[in-house]
Chain A
Amino acid sequence: MPEYKNPMLGSPLEVKVLTQRFGIPDAHRLRVYLQHRGYEGLTKALRMLPDEVISEVKKSALRGRGGAGFNAGMKWSFVPKQTQKAKYVVCNADESEPGTCKDRVLMEYDPHQLIEGIIIAGYAIQAHQGYIYIRGEYRYLMEVLDRAIDEAYSGGYLGKNILGSGFDFELTTHTGAGAYECGEETALLNSLEGYRGYPRVKPPFPAVVGLYGCPTIINNVETLSNVPHIMLNGGAWYAKLGTPNNGGTRLFALSGHIARPGIYELPMGFPLRRMIAEVGGGVWKGRKLKAVIPGGSSCPVLTADEVDVPMDFDSLAKIGSMLGSGGVVILDEHTCMVKAAWRIMKFYAHESCGWCIPCREGTAWLKALLERFHGNGGLPEDVDTALDVSYNILGKTLCPLGDAAAMPTISILKKFRHEFEEHLRLGACPFERRAVSVG
């Protein structure tokens, strides 16, 4: 029978803002949501001026939880105040970054929290229509959201004259159909308009020219889910939960060779070493750590020596990586980094939309090169060739997918060059015989 395992194993080190209602029976139902401060944030927001709402979110230092980490309030403030055009709120629920499964639990266990956040965002920019773009594979979650949206309409939290405020807002879900690139905001907009998900040139940015050419804010599920809490408790409170300029908590998905894989809500700036050892229970099977992907496969990998870093946007950027989507993937001592690089590249080659030559040709080339290399057909010049190709993708594409393919590859080629050299020296993969498989 189908199983939806609750990935919340829990840890005493968690700070539960977004996940505070998880585990309450029927928390996804409006009746229960209302018993736990549900829609109080919206009530408060509707009594403020829209600009005050934006100001509070800016003050909170809430940064985009999809991966880019841009200050959400600032993004909202780019929407023109004087315009004849309709305005839109789009929730990016296309979660597809390898290692990431946190939006899934937010939608499953607290859909009204997300809906409330979207409505508040709509009020802030005076938009009257929202769309939740949800990846095609998350069909059961679309159904959860559809039911919650129906409940919200019945309760007067959506539709005309919400809570007697005079503010109207309509919301609907929209299904994707299998495309990582549609998580990129402009490709998402093209997909939402009914086209193939190719990206658009920026500027103009969606806040000015977005859905149907109209001002649009696009925010990640987790980003929007934080908004009701910021309204309730204030931006200053939220900012203080994290580190300077990196406000709040975030959901981290620990996966890979970790003893307790699961989703954990921790304050921004939580030390990675503690996260692995104390929250995740350490590397599985008592093995040694080799590498960490800190925020989804698009991030440069960290070696075992680099885990003394606070997990926030700025600290990871300072050491040449990214907080990204919070998908923390643990790789143990028996992992072949050449194989890891190949599999990561295989993903980007598959998902490349094909628009830009460096990405389309470069990812295919690197996938073939890494596949041949791991399969014992490597040439001595392959590492330098791969670095060269990667640098010719990096920064040379219309959207960040090219960068997302190049950055982890460059980090593995540089930090684990010795593994590539060992493959050449041995004429075989030194890790192949180890059973790194089904536990």
Chain B
Amino acid sequence: MLSEALKKKFDTVIARYPVKRSAIVPLLMFAQDEQGHVSDEAIEEIARRVGVRPIEVVEDIGYYSMLHRRPIGKYHFQICTNISCMLRGGEEIFEHCAKKLGIGHQQTTPDGLFSLEEVECLGACCGAPAMQVNYDYYENLTPERIDALIEELRKDPGSRIKA
């Protein structure tokens, strides 16, 4: 169920554009922030409000790498292995996370707490190796710092950026 707050946000966002269709991608992101993934309900609601057929919303989703049609982990580890991070150990950091969490690229732990993805350049090149957990940046990573973060998240303090 989309919350009332989210529905109000939809109104605000749509009003920013002379053509409602422009709101599709932002609305998908905000709906995903609340529900953890892009739900059928969100697609229907966005399509209805923007005045397009649901398929026209669905065809956008597949293009954008941050939009997920199925639930991912509560904490989504996005580890960069592009050139600057690779040069400073990004691949080894990814391998370490995969081993520690027991999952691979684009997989989720059985308890739904963590998911893992090897991503492209996050714009954290000067702090390589780097990753994002949901929207939060973590830079100058070491295996020890990652282990400490995973322990902290298991105790669930919540992501710093709220939707």
Contacts and interface: CB of A to CB of B under 8 A. Distances in A.
Task: Please indicate whether A and B come from the same complex rather than being unrelated chains.
Answer: yes
Interface of A: 1-5, 7, 86, 95-101, 103-104, 135-140, 143, 172, 174-180, 191-197, 212, 253-257, 261-263, 293, 297, 327, 329-331, 335, 340, 343-344, 347, 350-351, 353, 436-439
Which 7 residue pairs of A and B lie closest in terms of their CB atoms, listed nearest first? A178-B66, A194-B21, A177-B64, A178-B65, A438-B89, A2-B136, A255-B125
Given A4-B137, A143-B161, A256-B84, A97 B89 contact: no
Interface residues of B, number: 53
A179 B65 contact: yes
A261 B83 contact: no
B71 interface: no
Given A191-B25, A255-B126, A340-B83, A5 B67 contact: no
A136 B29 contact: yes
Contacts of B140: 5
A175 B26 contact: yes
Contacts of A195: 21, 60
Contacts of B19: 193-194, 212
A98 B82 contact: yes
B82 A343 contact: yes
A4 B161 CA distance: 13
Given A96-B120, A96-B123, A194-B25, A177 B67 contact: yes
Interface stretch (B1-9, B108-116, B127-135): B127-135
A437 B125 contact: no
A197 B25 CA distance: 11
A5 B127 contact: yes
A22 to B, nearest CB: 14
Contacts of B125: 98-101, 253, 255-256, 261, 327, 329
Contacts of B87: 255-257, 329-331, 335, 436
B92 interface: yes
Nearest to B123: A101
A179 B135 contact: no
A180 B120 CA distance: 9
B50 interface: yes
Interface of B: 16, 18-19, 21-26, 28-29, 50, 59-60, 63-67, 78, 81-84, 86-89, 91-93, 120-129, 132-133, 135-140, 142-143, 160-161
A438 B129 contact: yes
A172 B12 CA distance: 11
B82 A438 contact: no
A172 B26 CA distance: 12
Contacts of A350: 120
Contacts, number: 170
Nearest to B139: A5
Contacts of A257: 87-88
Contacts of B126: 7, 101, 253-255, 261-263
A327 B125 CA distance: 9
Most buried by B among A86, A104, A136, A350: A136
B161 A139 contact: yes
Most buried by A among B29, B83, B137: B83
A327 B139 CA distance: 17
B122 A2 contact: no
Contact of B29 (A177, A179, A327, A329): A177
Contacts of A329: 83-84, 87, 125
B137 A3 contact: yes
Contacts of A180: 120-121
B40 to A, nearest CB: 18
Contacts of A439: 88-89
Contacts of B82: 98, 297, 343, 347
Nearest to A86: B18
B23 A194 contact: yes
A96 B124 CA distance: 10
A175 B139 CA distance: 23
Contact of B123 (A86, A137, A262): A137
Given A98-B84, A256-B87, A175 B122 contact: no
Contacts of A297: 82-83
Contact of A438 (B60, B132, B143, B161): B143
21 contacts: A86-B18, A99-B125, A100-B123, A103-B123, A104-B123, A104-B124, A172-B16, A176-B64, A177-B66, A178-B65, A179-B65, A193-B19, A253-B125, A253-B126, A255-B84, A256-B125, A329-B87, A335-B87, A343-B81, A343-B86, A438-B129
